[in-house]
Chains A and B, each alone.
Chain A
Amino acid sequence: MNREGRHIISVLLENESGALSRVAGLFSMRGYNIESLTVAPTNDPTLSRTTLVTRGDDRTIEQITKQLNKLVDVVRLTDLTEASHVEREMMLIKVRATGVDREEVKRLTDIFRSKIIDVTDSSYIIELTGDSEKLDAFMASVGDDNILEVVRSGVTGIARGDKGLKV
């Protein structure tokens, strides 16, 4: 068996009620791993774009893509990790910002090229975009004790070059 790898699968899905639950149901029903799932309509309002992050060996990933393709609501899909691509995740993080930490958090925010988007006497909300590792690194730098709340969007991605995943 070959190594388990991380894969980002982008799916164009009919924007119909129940379509997303078919995708999510497939993963739980067949015991596939799912790390994150994002979904939103595209420029074509009849289509949704779903991005799934999963882990598995080549054989499992092949089955996942085949089983996804078999769903009647799936129009098209691609495994972004098979070729050059860009991936991003967005995080909103609320951190404690009092005393000396207040200045330190501001410095960290600049270093990570992120933005403070809300301020109170004792906290900041910071908006941070990047790959998942960058978000992890920021949280580690701030430290668990200073984190009040975290919300992450899950990974989205797109292939490099002039070809697009579209109908």
Chain B
Amino acid sequence: MELSGGEIIIQALKDEGVEYLFGYPGGAVLHIYDAVFRQNDVKHILVRHEQGATHMADGYSRATGKPGVVLVTSGPGATNAVTGIATAHLDSIPLVVITGQVTSKYIGTDAFQEVDAIGCTRPCVKHNFMVQSVEDIAPVLRKAFYVATTGRPGPVVVDIPKDFTAPNVKIPYAYPKEVSMRSYNPVAGGHSGQVRKALDLLLAARRPVIYTGGGVLMGEASAELRDLAGTLGYPLTSTLMGLGAYPSSGEHFIGMLGMHGTYEANMAMHQADVVLAVGARFDDRVTGETDQFCPSAKIIHIDIDPASISKTITAHVPIVGDVKKVLTSMNELIASDERRVDAGELKAWWDQVNEWRGVNSLGYDSSDDVIKPQYVIQKLWEVTGGDAYVTSDVGQHQMWAAQYYGFDEPRRWINSGGLGTMGFGLPSALGVKLAHPDADVACITGEASVQMCLQELSTASQYNLPVKVINLNNRYLGMVRQWQEFQYNGRYSNSYVDALPDFVKLAESYGHVGMKIEKPADVEGALREALAAKNRLVFMDFITDETENVYPMIEAGKGHHQMRLHPNYGAAV
């Protein structure tokens, strides 16, 4: 089979089993788009902005575990994609982003729409490749998918000069079956001696906590984690990125930890004597002040990325390996080990944890007059049976979604935890809906975040992607306003969002359904109505309490045991 460079790219995507290609055409990728036009296997989704393409591919990937694939043109096409690439990088999401480049002989001449895409993306990719010839395309794409999806996953950029995709140069096509890279050998199973050391610690613990992160989801190790937690019976907390790996309704779950985690999760971490960290990276939003983090705990850290271990917090027992494999061997070893933690001691620990839980740190004042944002999320959970795919943007609504929508299954909670990218929610929801057309997909957002990628409402119309947008409209950049209230004496510098659009009319102008909900009594009915409209995108503009804050909170410089609680809850502590 003889193919041109442009045809090779599309054929390679077919050979990788790619369903959707998210992209936007431009001069440097026109040959590739001609190859897109002449086939139907890889479906192209035309976005309205390249950032939207990367977030859609990202949402698709998070909801399926498959790599997301993006095609953009050179120059502004590539730079617009950078935010989405960085978003995927910080959350270890596998993307393959193909960027067009100017014709090879013009590289370095400041040609029209030329930018050094390799240089621009270098700090925010797992790896990037500059294609050097037509012959290079197939092997480089094979490597790109391999690097993106193995080890600790991440985005890979492939920059392809226009002339290598021209229709007049055809070469024999063969997609490499195997990839071998002497400089890239992702680790597999953990060191068995280290796993045994970890068990010695775990089975002798008096105040153990299991702390899990996004790595459990990325490593498809949810079942193994549930087995381990079931056998050990220890309290289990999760990072923002790991929610759903262990069910929120599960008996050992003590809530999310960190800056807006529950009181019981953070206190348990503070008092723990052994912490088992699984696929989590001790991010600053999790640890609070590192000097005060887990002062009396021995830390066991399982991670596929050696560089994540002892980066911010020293691990006493590091285990480098694939989380699924390490947990499997742990489960096997425990099954044949007669040692168990003393039941009485474990019960005493649980009694302590339950006492902290009694503080009800997620309590909030309900109201009949003004819609509380937490209430909307609790109702969404009820109406969807806790079974929706939920994406979010960034800020207060993101934290409330994490706190009040109890995720019981992996890959249901999709948010930009690492980079904190406002604008992520809507396009990622569209990617999720493409992956799971029959599932309920809700985007929990705010009036500020949603406007950062609002143009994708148009993409949703074109491809009929009926997601439900839950806009928690408090007329403020809520999290900024909250910090200004707490730390800047209420000087609300530029956090009020003036001149908002009429979101109902705006949604309607794109051919969607718009709803404005202003009373608490109307929340549930509106949600039921929106979810019943299976084939329509419904933009629900909830006018919420502008003074509401996210509690509890670890403020800057504080430790897990110094949480700021809601003024009306936890006063007894």
Interface string of B300-317 (1 = CB under 8 A from A): 000001110011001000
Q: Are A66 and B119 in contact (CB under 8 A)?
A: no
B118 in contact (CB, < 8 A): yes
A122 in contact (CB, < 8 A): no
Q: Are B184 and A21 in contact (CB under 8 A)?
A: no
Chain A residue numbers with a CB within 8 Å of B130 are: 17-18
Q: Are B310 and A59 in contact (CB under 8 A)?
A: yes
Interface stretch, picked from B121-129, B255-263, B322-330, B348-356, is B121-129
Chain A residue numbers with a CB within 8 Å of B184 are: 72
Contact of B147 among A18, A72, A167 (CB under 8 A): A72
**A49 CB to nearest chain B CB (Å):** 14
- Given A17-B130, A18-B118, A72-B181, check contact A67 B307 (CB 8 Å): yes
A74 in contact (CB, < 8 A): yes
Chain A residue numbers with a CB within 8 Å of B105 are: none
Interface string of B134-158 (1 = CB under 8 A from A): 0000000000000100000000000
Question: How many angstroms between the C-alpha atoms of A97 and B314 in the bound complex?
Answer: 57
Q: Are A73 and B306 in contact (CB under 8 A)?
A: no
> What would 4 more interface pairs be, CB under 8 Å, given A18-B118, A22-B122?
A63-B307, A72-B127, A74-B183, A75-B182
- Given A18-B118, A21-B119, check contact A72 B126 (CB 8 Å): yes
Q: Are A21 and B122 in contact (CB under 8 A)?
A: yes
- Given A18-B130, A59-B310, A66-B307, check contact A75 B122 (CB 8 Å): no
Residue contacts A-B, CB under 8 angstroms, 10 given: A14-B183, A17-B130, A18-B130, A59-B310, A59-B314, A66-B306, A67-B307, A69-B306, A69-B307, A72-B126
Q: Are B307 and A29 in contact (CB under 8 A)?
A: no
- Given A72-B127, A73-B183, A167-B182, check contact A25 B122 (CB 8 Å): yes
Question: How many angstroms between the C-alpha atoms of A74 and B127 in the bound complex?
Answer: 12
Q: Nearest residue in A to B118 (C-beta to C-beta)? A: A18
Chain B residue numbers with a CB within 8 Å of A14 are: 183
Chain A residue numbers with a CB within 8 Å of B123 are: 25, 29
Chain A residue numbers with a CB within 8 Å of B305 are: 70
Interface residues of A in 106-151 (CB under 8 A from B): none
Question: How many angstroms between the C-alpha atoms of A14 and B129 in the bound complex?
Answer: 13
**B530 CB to nearest chain A CB (Å):** 44
**B132 CB to nearest chain A CB (Å):** 8
A62 in contact (CB, < 8 A): yes
Question: How many angstroms between the C-alpha atoms of A67 and B310 in the bound complex?
Answer: 12
Q: Nearest residue in A to B309 (C-beta to C-beta)? A: A66
Question: How many angstroms between the C-alpha atoms of A128 and B181 in the bound complex?
Answer: 40
Taking Cβ atoms with an 8 Å cutoff, the residues of B that contact A are: 118-119, 122-123, 126-128, 130, 147, 181-184, 305-307, 310-311, 314
Chain B residue numbers with a CB within 8 Å of A74 are: 183
**B51 CB to nearest chain A CB (Å):** 22
Q: Nearest residue in A to B123 (C-beta to C-beta)? A: A29
Chain B residue numbers with a CB within 8 Å of A29 are: 123
Question: How many angstroms between the C-alpha atoms of A70 and B185 in the bound complex?
Answer: 10
The winner among A25, A66, A69 for most chain B CB atoms within 10 A is A66
Interface string of A68-83 (1 = CB under 8 A from B): 0110111100000000
Chain B residue numbers with a CB within 8 Å of A72 are: 126-127, 147, 181, 183-184
Interface residues of A in 1-53 (CB under 8 A from B): 14, 17-18, 21-22, 25, 29
Question: How many angstroms between the C-alpha atoms of A4 and B70 in the bound complex?
Answer: 44
Chain A residue numbers with a CB within 8 Å of B122 are: 18, 21-22, 25
Q: Nearest residue in B to A68 (C-beta to C-beta)? A: B307
Chain A residue numbers with a CB within 8 Å of B314 are: 59
**B305 CB to nearest chain A CB (Å):** 7
Chain A residue numbers with a CB within 8 Å of B181 are: 72
Question: How many angstroms between the C-alpha atoms of A59 and B119 in the bound complex?
Answer: 29
Contact of A75 among B183, B306, B307, B311 (CB under 8 A): B183
**A20 CB to nearest chain B CB (Å):** 12
**B125 CB to nearest chain A CB (Å):** 10
Chain A residue numbers with a CB within 8 Å of B311 are: 63
Question: How many angstroms between the C-alpha atoms of A11 and B9 in the bound complex?
Answer: 34
Question: How many angstroms between the C-alpha atoms of A29 and B127 in the bound complex?
Answer: 15
**A13 CB to nearest chain B CB (Å):** 8
**B377 CB to nearest chain A CB (Å):** 37
Question: How many angstroms between the C-alpha atoms of A17 and B126 in the bound complex?
Answer: 17
Question: How many angstroms between the C-alpha atoms of A73 and B310 in the bound complex?
Answer: 23
The winner among B119, B127, B306, B307 for most chain A CB atoms within 10 A is B307
Chain A residue numbers with a CB within 8 Å of B183 are: 14, 72-75
Chain A residue numbers with a CB within 8 Å of B128 are: 18
Q: Are B118 and A70 in contact (CB under 8 A)?
A: no
Chain B residue numbers with a CB within 8 Å of A18 are: 118, 122, 128, 130
